Amino acid sequence: MAVHSIISSLQPILPQDIQGQIQASASSGTGTLDLDDDVKRWVVIGLCLHNVLTPALRIYVSPIITQMYTSLVSTDHINTQTSHSYLRIYLPTKTKLNYEAINNNKTLYGGQTWKYDRCVKNPIDLSKLFLQTHMAQYIAFDSTCDSSALLAIIINIDQFPLAVQEEANEVRTSVRNCWAHCNFLQWTPAKFVASFQLLERFIKKMGVNATEENRILGDIHNWKTDGTNFMNISMLGAELVGEIQTATQALTECTQDDSIETDSNFHRLQKQLIKIETKFEEFKTKTGKWLNEIGTRLSDCSINTDLTEVKNKTHHPNRMCYDAHQLEVNTWQEHDRKFVKTSIINDLMKYLEKEHFAVVIGASGMGKSAIIHHIALQICLKEGWTVIPCHSPLEIIIHYKDYEFLIFVIDDICGKYATISKESSLKHIINKKDENSNNAFIMACSYGYDEIVQFFISVGAEINVKDTRLSPMTAACGSGNYSTVVLMIKHCAHLNQPDKCGDTPLYVACFGGFENVIKLLIEKGADINKTVKSGASPLFAACNGGDESIVRMLVSHGAKVNKSTKSGNTPLFAACCGGFESIVSTLVNNGALVNKTFENEGSPLFASCQRGYENITRLLIENGAKINYVTISGNTALNVACCSGFESIVQLLISKGCSVNMTKGNNRTPLYVSCQRGFKKIVQLLLENGAQVNDSENNYTPLHVACSVGDYEIAKMLIVKKSGVNNPKGDGQTPLHAAVKSNNEKLVDLLVCEGADINTTYGYGFTPLYEASTAGNLQVVRILVENGAVLNVASHSGETALFVACRKGHYEISKFLVERGADINKSNCDGDTPLHIACAGRYEQIVQILVKNEVDIKHLNNDKESPFYMACKNGYYTIAKTLLTNGTNINEVTVYGWSALYAAASSGYKEVVELLLENGANVNQCNASGWTPLNAACSEGHRDIVSLLVNNGADFNIANAYRETPMHVACSGGYSSIFRFLLHKGATINTCDAKGNYPLHNACHNGHTEIVMLIIDENVDLNHSNSMRNTPLHFACFGGHSDIVKKLIEKHADVNKVNVNAETPLFVACKGGHHKIVQKLIDAGSFVNMLNFTGWTPLCAACKEGHYETVKILLENGSDIDQANCDEHTPLHIATVNDHNKIYDLLCDKGAHICDWPEK
């Protein structure tokens, strides 16, 4: 373990002085690390790549790829693609997308590409489509995504600026790849400096925000400085040693993905890594004495340090040691998918929990290698250990590191030999299915192991098995194993039998593009038109894959060119989707219907236009494709081309006579969709060919949509062609409204100059000026006002442009409108003025500008709330003070009688309360319910406000309309500090409210034990009854507050006092099922058989509610089990009718008399 790692792990638990001693000792006594300068420069570059550049690229790439994903979901539906219809080529860059890299397709299906899951589920998957599979092993743009993958993403995807792509390519070529190749000699001082300059230039070209750019450049500079220092010292401190070791480990991880290296490169890399690791081991040996000294110091300081914990903290994620090991373990993982788990696995796993090694021996061919590989992979997966495949004990010595968790696997230590025995038992083994319903025979067919296939057949393997995911024939045909297919046919394999998924041998061969297998199957009589479950034929699969020679072969042997899938897709449609021009020509020449539509009403022409295949589009038109066909939803081929932005196809369609104004249904014309997407050249092309600029969807014209997206140039083109600038859409919104909301000042100015009506309204009476004020665009507001916009036009809710500017807090616009003469006292439908709204939003500057212009600060809204009241209610001290100094009425009340002081006290705004009291606010002013500010403060528990009010003359004995005093309110809320304060000030606790409740009732009812104790200490009457003759003990029993019941009983509260219903506290407790309280009351002498007015005993009440424990306690304490109520219902009757079977059984066990239900 590096010295730095130990110090970092121990630092949080070390005293400051010990840390200093350790650091000093580390700097002077840890010895020398003998590394050449070129190696040191290589290490520093690696550190900078992994610790600075890679994290920055993750942050940079993520939002761009996410935006691209959202766009492709909208245009190409890549999130719902199927194996028959998917985006094969990314047209802007003509990139063939790699679906092997997503959805675990390579692992699950290997070369059987027709099985691939083509659904692109997230932006991470999208980025993988542009990479080689070995580079696309990350799960997010996080630590699993290295610099190699990130740079490739930037280089391969056109969404990144060209300048950034060029710099990324230079960084990958000149820095990252050179570093990964581990050629130390090229890391000269000049190369070192040039690499840092290139990294700095790359970061600047990325165009991140200034703060982030400065941070990244600062980190790069720090590594450059540290690297220079690194060259100039020989004695290395703990910090730098730790960084070197971290870099070495990072290099090991990085090179795993560098699959283009040659074997010699791998060996050279291994040699250099082992050399550097050896240096660390030597260094660690020299520091052993120093570590012992540290341990002694820690012991002297009585610090409990678990070095195992330190080791865990510095442990790195599981990884393979070298690329060669990674490749070997990858092979294990491929084969492990077919592994059939037996009992020996569990036995070995349990054995290895206690032992450090195990030897697996047995007869050749029994699967020893598969067993040890499976166990090693399981330990790697579950425990996070590193797997090191070895071929001799010497390799263990080479790779062993005592600070890492490693598992070594030596396979065939005594060499390989093979025998075949017990053929009778092999039949059972080869037919045994794995979790995917495949068996060993199918796997052999899939991999083309002909000798094994022949042997399996000889011992009875089922050739025509039907219930497996793949059949032997689909496995062989789908993998293109010609000789295996020949062998299978020789042994009478069925040519047309589908596997469990419904795929036929010919279909999978066509999907995989295996021409020789296809030819063989056809010659042997395979049904050329047999379809799979989706209705796709072999020809459809071939057209989907783009292999012209296979298509020609199928057609020449009678494949039906117009056979469609269940969703209506034809082979011609598949070829058009893939852009396979020669296949399209072949199909058309052989009678394919160019105008056949499918499930979503599209056609082959739609497919080619949508994907930008100009030559195919021309070919289809020349062969009779209907260019003016309109779907039920109103879509046309021209619409599709315009929507995708393919100018050349638009030009082609127009030149062939396509109507530029053809539409129905949603009325979205080609011009409309082109304007919506901002395709200026296509808009110009359509206009030149007679597109009607005033055609609309619900009166929503192309000019509307151009203005809504803020496209000045397109809007200007439309206006030149006489598009109506005042055409209203369905809700009355004009292009000017749309332009204002897009915040494009230049566009607004254009419309105004062209005669747009500045004061027109739409929707709820919104003018362009209102929308501009809402958006907060001062320049647009200025343009509108200077061109005659009426300032005081109100919306249907009574809001003017000034009003909405105040509500949004747009100070500059508010100031401008006030200076231009806007009515500052105009109120909305609720009676609020701009000042009300500014006060409610805490916009102090706006308040000041309104006050400065003599706004009516005393104006009341419909609820009689003044702006001053709103400020106080929300605790805005500065605004309240401003209004107070300008003459507001401090004691004005709302319709509910709430004053500003009441509102501030209720909300706990102490500073505002102080301001009001200092300026003479009425401290005892009551609201409509008789509540004073003190009541409100007590209700919310604001102790400091209560103190402030009382000290300023608040009457703490004033009762509200319900005769509740502040003391009642404090006891209800359980605010013991307020209770003590009021009691200290002389507030009475012997006053009852309108219902006869005393403060003690309130405290007991809500379970506030501390306040109950304080009241009891004041020697009050514990048996006070309220208007319902309930005592505090009744209330405590009702709420189930056991502690309070206990205190009241201890203070001799009457346990048998009855309320108006003749219910004792025991009756109330039994009804609520509070069995602990029931026991306390019985122990205190409560009568268990006392009847209420309807003759119910406590036992009856407990039986009705189903409280078993309570019933049990009552019976144990003498309750009359057969006492009937006034309706002659006994406890047993009551338990029965309420379905409480457990209580029924208990009563019967205790001897309850079973009798008939009494007659009415």
The single-letter code of the amino acid at 834 is P
Question: Cα separation of 1116 and 1109, whole Å?
Answer: 11
424 C-beta neighbours (distance < 10 Å), count: 9
Does 490 have pLDDT greater than 90?
Answer: yes
3 state SS of 406: strand
Question: Cα separation of 943 and 806, whole Å?
Answer: 35
Least confident of 87-96, 142-151, 359-368, 648-657: 359-368
Classify residue 534 by its DSSP letter. T
- Same domain? For 366 and 296 the reply is no
Whether the Cβ atoms of residue 967 and residue 935 lie closer than 8 Å to each other: no
> Per-residue DSSP letters for 965-981?
-HHHHHHHHT-HHHHHH
Average pLDDT of the residues in 908-935: 93
Whether the Cβ atoms of residue 570 and residue 605 lie closer than 8 Å to each other: no
Q: Residue 354: its pLDDT value, please? A: 74
Q: Residue 466: its pLDDT value, please? A: 77
- Same domain? For 73 and 196 the reply is yes
Which of 136, 120, 105, 128 is closest to 71 using CA atoms?
A: 120
* 278, two tokens: 């050896």
**Residue 637 counted as domain residue:** no
Which of 266, 321, 258, 265 is closest to 132 using CA atoms?
A: 258
pLDDT in tens, 922-980: 999 998 888 999 999 999 999 999 999 999 999 999 988 889 999 999 999 999 999 99
Q: Residue 1153: its pLDDT value, please? A: 86
3 state SS of 397: helix
Element (H, E) at 96: strand 95-96
Q: Residue 904: its pLDDT value, please? A: 95
* 1017, two tokens: 């200490």
Share of the chain above pLDDT 70, in %: 81
Average pLDDT of the residues in 689-713: 86
**Residue 343 counted as domain residue:** yes
CATH code of the domain in which 726 resides: 1.25.40.20
> Per-residue DSSP letters for 353-389?
HH-S------STTS-HHHHHHHHHHHHHHHH-PEEEE
Q: Residue 667: its pLDDT value, please? A: 55
**Residue 248 counted as domain residue:** yes
**Residue 49 counted as domain residue:** yes
Whether the Cβ atoms of residue 1032 and residue 1051 lie closer than 8 Å to each other: no
Average pLDDT over the chain reads 83
Question: 633 versus 1107: which is more confidently predicted?
Answer: 1107
pLDDT in tens, 632-684: 777 889 988 998 899 999 999 999 999 998 765 555 789 998 998 899 999 99
Does 342 have pLDDT greater than 80?
Answer: no
Strand partners of residue 409:
389
Q: Residue 256: its pLDDT value, please? A: 44
Whether the Cβ atoms of residue 109 and residue 115 lie closer than 8 Å to each other: yes
Whether the Cβ atoms of residue 742 and residue 765 lie closer than 8 Å to each other: no
3 state SS of 415: coil
pLDDT classification of 345: cutoffs 50, 70, 90: confident
Say how many CA atoms lie within 13 Å of 1084 toward its Cβ.
Answer: 23
Question: Cα separation of 32 and 287, whole Å?
Answer: 10
> Per-residue DSSP letters for 813-865?
HHHHHHHTT--TT---TTS--HHHHHHHTT-HHHHHHHHHTT--TT---TT--
End position of a domain, from candidates 419, 437, 459 = 419
Does 836 have pLDDT greater than 90?
Answer: yes
- Same domain? For 158 and 266 the reply is yes
Question: Cα separation of 633 and 629, whole Å?
Answer: 12
Least confident of 363-377, 786-800, 937-951: 363-377
Whether the Cβ atoms of residue 112 and residue 632 lie closer than 8 Å to each other: no
- Same domain? For 258 and 380 the reply is no
Helices 571-578 and 581-589 pack at an angle, to 10 degrees, of 160
- Same domain? For 291 and 328 the reply is no
- Same domain? For 219 and 355 the reply is no
End position of a domain, from candidates 355, 386, 419 = 419
Least confident of 378-387, 445-454, 1032-1041: 378-387
CA dihedral sign, ordered 595, 597, 600, 601: positive
Question: Cα separation of 26 and 976, whole Å?
Answer: 58
Q: Residue 815: its pLDDT value, please? A: 96
565 C-beta neighbours (distance < 10 Å), count: 23
Does 707 have pLDDT greater than 90?
Answer: yes
- Same domain? For 290 and 330 the reply is no
- Same domain? For 291 and 327 the reply is no
Cα diameter, the chain: 111
Q: Residue 393: its pLDDT value, please? A: 62
Q: Are strands 386-390 and 89-90 parallel, antiparallel or unpaired?
A: unpaired
Question: Cα separation of 769 and 966, whole Å?
Answer: 52
Average pLDDT of the residues in 566-595: 93
Give Cα separations from 979 to 948, 955, 1041 (angstroms): 15, 15, 20
pLDDT in tens, 415-464: 443 333 344 445 566 666 666 667 778 888 888 888 888 888 887 888 88
Does 253 have pLDDT greater than 50?
Answer: no
Question: Cα separation of 965 and 935, whole Å?
Answer: 7
Strand partners of residue 762:
766
**Residue 869 counted as domain residue:** no
Whether the Cβ atoms of residue 1074 and residue 1035 lie closer than 8 Å to each other: no
Which of 783, 788, 763 is closest to 773 using CA atoms?
A: 783
**How many folded domains does the chain comprise?**
4
Average pLDDT of the residues in 9-30: 44
pLDDT in tens, 197-245: 888 888 888 887 777 787 888 888 877 776 665 555 433 444 444 444 5
Which of 500, 377, 512, 495 is closest to 436 using CA atoms?
A: 500
3-state helix, strand, coil in the chain (%, to 5): 55, 0, 40
Whether the Cβ atoms of residue 1 and residue 290 lie closer than 8 Å to each other: no
Residue 198's φ and ψ, nearest 5 degrees, are -65, -40
Average pLDDT of the residues in 1076-1088: 96
Average pLDDT of the residues in 838-849: 95
304 C-beta neighbours (distance < 10 Å), count: 7
Question: Cα separation of 564 and 599, whole Å?
Answer: 11
Give Cα separations from 201 to 147, 171, 802 (angstroms): 17, 10, 48
- Same domain? For 290 and 334 the reply is no
Q: Residue 1091: its pLDDT value, please? A: 94
Average pLDDT of the residues in 768-780: 94
- Same domain? For 295 and 336 the reply is no
Whether the Cβ atoms of residue 673 and residue 635 lie closer than 8 Å to each other: no
Whether the Cβ atoms of residue 1110 and residue 1076 lie closer than 8 Å to each other: no
Which of 713, 725, 714 is closest to 673 using CA atoms?
A: 714
Question: Cα separation of 184 and 599, whole Å?
Answer: 62
**Residue 372 counted as domain residue:** yes
The single-letter code of the amino acid at 211 is T
Whether the Cβ atoms of residue 516 and residue 510 lie closer than 8 Å to each other: no
* 993, two tokens: 């409210």
- Same domain? For 83 and 42 the reply is yes
Give Cα separations from 70 to 63, 65, 133, 670 (angstroms): 11, 9, 23, 23
* 768, two tokens: 């362009």
Classify residue 893 by its DSSP letter. B
Which of 275, 54, 279, 322 is closest to 168 using CA atoms?
A: 54
> In b/e form, how buried is each residue of 902-921, taking b as 16+ CB within 10 angstroms?
bbbbbbbbbebbebbbeeeb
Share of the chain above pLDDT 90, in %: 51
Residue range of the domain that includes 349: 323-419
3 state SS of 899: strand
Give Cα separations from 889 to 531, 923, 937, 1098 (angstroms): 87, 15, 22, 60
**Residue 531 counted as domain residue:** no
Q: Residue 386: its pLDDT value, please? A: 80
Q: Residue 362: its pLDDT value, please? A: 61
**Residue 1127 counted as domain residue:** yes
End position of a domain, from candidates 404, 419, 434 = 419
Q: Are strands 386-390 and 95-96 parallel, antiparallel or unpaired?
A: unpaired
pLDDT classification of 1114: cutoffs 50, 70, 90: very high
* 333, two tokens: 């993982």
210 C-beta neighbours (distance < 10 Å), count: 7
Strand partners of residue 96:
89
Question: 383 versus 364: which is more confidently predicted?
Answer: 383
Does 285 have pLDDT greater than 80?
Answer: no
Most confident residue range from 297-306, 953-962, 992-1001:
992-1001
Q: What angle do CA 247, 253, 258 make, to 5 degrees?
A: 115
Question: Cα separation of 883 and 886, whole Å?
Answer: 5
Which of 219, 63, 53 is closest to 149 using CA atoms?
A: 53
- Same domain? For 90 and 218 the reply is yes
